[in-house]
Amino acid sequence: MAAFAIHGDIIWTEEPGAFRYNEGGYLVISDGKVVSVSDVRPDCEIVETDSSLVIPGLTDLHLHAPQYAFAGLYMDEELLDWLNHHTFPEEGKYSDPVYAGKAYSAFADDLQRTATTRVAVFGTIHTDSTLLLMDKLEKAGVAGYVGKVNMDRNSPDYLTENTDASVAETERFISMSSRFSSIKPIITPRFIPSCTDNLMQSLGRIAYQQDLPVQSHLDENLSEVEWVKELCPWASNYADAYNHYSMLGPKSIMAHCVWLNDDEIKLLRESGTYIAHSPSSNTNLSSGIAPIRKYLEAGLKIGLATDVAGGSSLSMFRMIQDAIAVSKLRWRFDASGGKALKFSEAFYLASKGGGSFFGTTGSFEKGYDADVVVIDDSRQSTILLKSLSVPERLEFYTYRHPDEFIKAKYVKGRRVL
Amino acid sequence: MAAFAIHGDIIWTEEPGAFRYNEGGYLVISDGKVVSVSDVRPDCEIVETDSSLVIPGLTDLHLHAPQYAFAGLYMDEELLDWLNHHTFPEEGKYSDPVYAGKAYSAFADDLQRTATTRVAVFGTIHTDSTLLLMDKLEKAGVAGYVGKVNMDRNSPDYLTENTDASVAETERFISMSSRFSSIKPIITPRFIPSCTDNLMQSLGRIAYQQDLPVQSHLDENLSEVEWVKELCPWASNYADAYNHYSMLGPKSIMAHCVWLNDDEIKLLRESGTYIAHSPSSNTNLSSGIAPIRKYLEAGLKIGLATDVAGGSSLSMFRMIQDAIAVSKLRWRFDASGGKALKFSEAFYLASKGGGSFFGTTGSFEKGYDADVVVIDDSRQSTILLKSLSVPERLEFYTYRHPDEFIKAKYVKGRRVL
């Protein structure tokens, strides 16, 4: 791919808490990678953006594509009731590839219009429908991982797999998904309560043998935590149960982690496991507020996630808002979780924080994948706009116009919107 | 005004917790008032809406128009710092009517596009700029109250009035605002810390003599509560200080009320004072979470409010989302505040709850003011749309498409959008 540069007001974070930016700078890209952010006009094709904001693509580290159709509904229930009354019946419909095709098209279309460039997505237990989802995401230009979900216990009949069949379908899923280039398979046991020991052992083995990443749920809700204690009396805690099946590590994402105890924090840190922090979902389902400051200080790896349909919005800008908001409330009610997140810290989590799960993405450092979103914020509604700094414009945009005015999106240097 | 009817999927609440709706019904309106919601096609002009949602106009019971320009900025600070660093300097600019005119035009334009039909708004200390604000709101078709703010202590020089001048300007403001028909004046001491005893006494007397409503701030932030204790050692609590100046009653709005103690709850109940619950602002400024369930059970009068720019959004649908969200988190951290709000309860607070401050508004009961918003939700993004009930469609719209697709808005039966 020929080198080119995007000329605009470029802003990114390399570590939590500090923006870097270059007003009227050049983001130089070659072979799909960032070469530099430069003050000097480079000698290559220049994409002019008329002083637009130029930011790294954002990462949604955890969401359920088959739940998108009802995201924003049934918000009056807690996790386990919500699963049984709404989520499972809806997921059952994805046995029909025609329904799945329609729903996943709507999902991929809406996701394409956001600033999200990387995702880690749950499908359903249905292999063929999940392959359809991969196809639609690949065509939408989004990169990342999609998992066929595994469930062989404590689930409605229509979502309960035979253990051997679940393993065989997982292998077929992995094999069939080799055709995709930007979307890759990920091993996806729904969570401990939905998967027998035998299934978990088989999935752990497949992940290890085929060097595949893993995603699941951990410590979301207090009732769920109690349930796992009953199901796995041999485990010293919920995280330890996943570790027993070799499912913790730098290629693993554990969604939520609202209620980690100190042993679990240690286990996640030592294993390098990623936390998909889902502030909106954890609020909607009355799960609680993960102490993100404490986790950051403990050295855990953290990205942000919509967890659609626990979260009602696909917008990572909304997740930045919500991560900050809940961190303030957590601090107010229980200061042991640490101080509130600042805007620059939440932006980091939504970009490089979660992006690092996919390699070098989510920043504009040299050699990073050129995942770029161009936002024409000149249309923002305020008479103050001309007096704002680049970080202030980004904050204003995040709160007032999330995912509006996106005029271009690039993934690995290729324009996808 | 001739009678007419709006034909659509009509939904409203008459008390917290229960939707009423009529799919394919007729909302019959005469002389600006609701006559009935009927199954039968009435013999008058019919406005066809093609199965749109037809809801009562929503009420924003507390917001600061001069802060709208920076709503969504500076979210990393707590109340008192945020006031001194950002809010006061911006409000100072409204001494210039040219600046005020531009900023208030943008505010009124954006407000007009929302589902809000009634407001209680703070201006600044500047009488002429505040009259400009009233003019713009009246032209935008929004009804309600606007206050010239009073401040004569503990404020920057450029926002500190001489006490006598503050009183005289308030009288001029009231007199000059008689030209408006839908927008009325309201007595607006900023809050106890900004107003001397003398000023508060004069304002209380003006409100009483001229039968005017009052709006102010109460128990928003713990540092503020401590400060008022020092300033008013003679008062048994913060609410009691307002009561001392005859500023509590059924024509008074007290914004926030996050930290009411039992004596204050009793005082607000007995006086019939309204609480403007501002969940988004109370989160953004790390103030806390008002125990709304407890207040409802105590019989307090409550409406919802954006509190722009403590809140970053003008959307009352977003306030419904946030009122539910924070009530869930409050329940999780401190169950003494009571159970979480349900969607139907939060919708009630945003419509009839706050609307009742303005008389009979916010519902479709017979004789209510015909404040109506028509929403073409057929454009909502979900393949489930056709299978949803009217309340489910409203919930989905509230979370996924707040203030989008509004195709008509009526205030007192007159079309304003």
Write the pLDDT tens digit of every residue in A72-101: 999 888 888 899 999 999 999 999 999 999
Residue range B248-260: mean pLDDT, rounded: 98
Residue range B234-243: mean pLDDT, rounded: 98
Query: Which three-class secondary structure state does DSSP give residue A291?
Result: coil
User: Which chain B residues in 75-114 lie under 8 Å from chain A, judged by CB atoms?
Assistant: 75-76, 99, 102-103, 106, 110
Yes or no: say if A214 and A253 are a contact pair by the CB < 8 Å rule.
Answer: yes
* Residues of chain A by 3-state class (helix, strand, coil), percent to 5: 45, 25, 30
- Residue B10, pLDDT score: 98
The answer to whether domain A4-55+364-415 and domain A58-358 are alike in fold is no
Residue range B191-209: mean pLDDT, rounded: 98
Residue range B316-343: mean pLDDT, rounded: 96
Using alpha carbons, list the distances in angstroms from residue A15 to A362, A369, A373, B32, B38.
11, 17, 19, 58, 60
- Residues A297-347 have pLDDT tens digits of 999 999 999 999 999 999 999 999 999 999 999 999 998 889 999 999 999
Structural class in CATH, domain A4-55+364-415: mainly beta
**Phi-psi region for residue B150, left (φ > 0), alpha (ψ -120 to 50) or beta?**
beta
Distance from CA of B316 to the nearest CA of A (A): 14
Residue range A51-76: mean pLDDT, rounded: 96
Indicate which of A19, A70, A76 best probes the interface with B, i.e. most B CBs within 10 Å of its own CB: A76
- Please report which confidence band the pLDDT of residue B100 belongs to, taking 50, 70 and 90 as the band edges: very high
Residue range B83-108: mean pLDDT, rounded: 96
Angle between helices A390-400 and A316-333 (to 10 degrees): 90
- Residue A132, pLDDT score: 98
- Residues B261-315 have pLDDT tens digits of 999 999 999 999 999 999 999 999 999 999 999 999 999 999 999 999 999 999 9
- Residue A259, pLDDT score: 97
Is A386 near chain B, with CB under 8 Å? no
The closest alpha carbon to A123, from A97, A159, A91, A170, belongs to: A91
Yes or no: say if B248 and B290 are a contact pair by the CB < 8 Å rule.
Answer: no
Per-domain boundaries in chain A: 4-55+364-415, 58-358
Q: Enumerate residues 6+ apart whose C-beta is below 8 A from B246.
A: B204, B205, B207, B208
DSSP state letter for A286 = T
The closest alpha carbon to B188, from B157, B156, B147, B225, belongs to: B147
Radius of gyration of chain B (CA): 21
Residue A386, pLDDT > 90, answer no
Share of chain A above pLDDT 70, in %: 100
Q: Hey, what's the torsion of the CAs at B190, B193, B199, B205, to 10 degrees?
A: 70
Is A178 near chain B, with CB under 8 Å? no
Using alpha carbons, list the distances in angstroms from residue A26 to A19, A45, A385.
17, 11, 22
- Residue B267, pLDDT score: 98
- Residue B383, pLDDT score: 85
Give the burial class of B234: count Cβ atoms within 10 A of its Cβ; 0-12 exposed, 13-18 middle, 19 or more buried.
Answer: exposed
Share of chain A above pLDDT 90, in %: 94
- Please report which confidence band the pLDDT of residue B337 belongs to, taking 50, 70 and 90 as the band edges: confident
Residue range A266-290: mean pLDDT, rounded: 97
What is the three-state SS of chain B?
Answer: CCCEEEEEEEEEEEECCEEEEEEEEEEEEECCEEEEEECCCCCCEEEEEEEEEEEECEEEEEEEHHHHHHCCCCCCCCHHHHHHHHHHHHHHHHHCHHHHHHHHHHHHHHHHCCCEEEEEEECCCCHHHHHHHHHHHHHHCCEEEEECEECCCCCCHHHCCCHHHHHHHHHHHHHHHHHCCCEEECEEECCHHHCCHHHHHHHHHHHHHCCCCEEEEECCCHHHHHHHHHHCCCCCCHHHHHHHCCCCCCCEEEEECCCCCHHHHHHHHHHCCEEEECHHHHHHCCCCCCCHHHHHHCCCEEEECCCECCECCCCHHHHHHHHHHHHHHHHHHCHHHCCCCCHHHHHHHHHHHHHHHHCCCCCCCCCCECCEEEECHHHCCCCCHHHCCHHHHHHHHHHHCCCCCEEEEEECCEECC
Contact A342 B106 (CB under 8 A): no
Pairing of strands A372-375, A45-56: antiparallel
- Residue B79, pLDDT score: 81
Query: Which three-class secondary structure state does DSSP give residue A402?
Result: coil
Share of chain B above pLDDT 70, in %: 100
d(CA A313, CA A325): 15
Pairing of strands A58-64, A116-122: parallel
Using alpha carbons, list the distances in angstroms from residue A217 to A194, A276, A277, B60.
11, 9, 11, 39
Is A70 near chain B, with CB under 8 Å? yes
Contact B398 A69 (CB under 8 A): no
Contact B343 A75 (CB under 8 A): yes
- Please report which confidence band the pLDDT of residue B77 belongs to, taking 50, 70 and 90 as the band edges: confident
Residue range A224-243: mean pLDDT, rounded: 97
- Please report which confidence band the pLDDT of residue A380 belongs to, taking 50, 70 and 90 as the band edges: confident
Residue B386, pLDDT > 90, answer no
Indicate which of A19, A67, A73, A112 best probes the interface with B, i.e. most B CBs within 10 Å of its own CB: A73
Q: What is the mean pLDDT of chain A?
A: 96
Q: Phi first, then psi: what are they for A9, rounded to 5°?
A: -100, 100
Lowest mean pLDDT, pick from A349-353, B78-82, B128-132: B78-82
- Residues A4-30 have pLDDT tens digits of 999 999 999 999 999 999 999 999 999
Amino acid at residue number B357: F
Q: What is the mean pLDDT of chain B?
A: 96
- Please report which confidence band the pLDDT of residue A2 belongs to, taking 50, 70 and 90 as the band edges: confident
Amino acid at residue number B222: L
- Residue B381, pLDDT score: 73
- Residues B12-62 have pLDDT tens digits of 999 999 999 999 999 999 999 999 999 999 999 999 999 999 999 999 999
Is B331 near chain A, with CB under 8 Å? yes
- Residues B130-155 have pLDDT tens digits of 999 999 999 999 999 999 999 999 99
What would the two tokens of residue A178 be? 């080799």
| A288 chain-B contacts, CB cut-off 8 A | 329, 332
Residue range B362-384: mean pLDDT, rounded: 93
Residue B356, pLDDT > 80, answer yes
- Residue A379, pLDDT score: 83
Residue A381, pLDDT > 80, answer no
CATH architecture of B58-358: Alpha-Beta Barrel (3.20)
Distance from CA of B192 to the nearest CA of A (A): 24
Q: Enumerate residues 6+ apart whose C-beta is below 8 A from A390.
A: A9, A11, A19, A21, A23, A53
User: Which chain B residues in 334-363 lie under 8 Å from chain A, judged by CB atoms?
Assistant: 334, 340, 342-343
Which residue in the set A321, A334, A340 is minimally distant from B333, CB to CB? Answer: A334
- Please report which confidence band the pLDDT of residue A152 belongs to, taking 50, 70 and 90 as the band edges: very high
Which ipTM was obtained for this model?
Answer: 0.97
Residue B325, pLDDT > 90, answer yes
Is B392 near chain A, with CB under 8 Å? yes
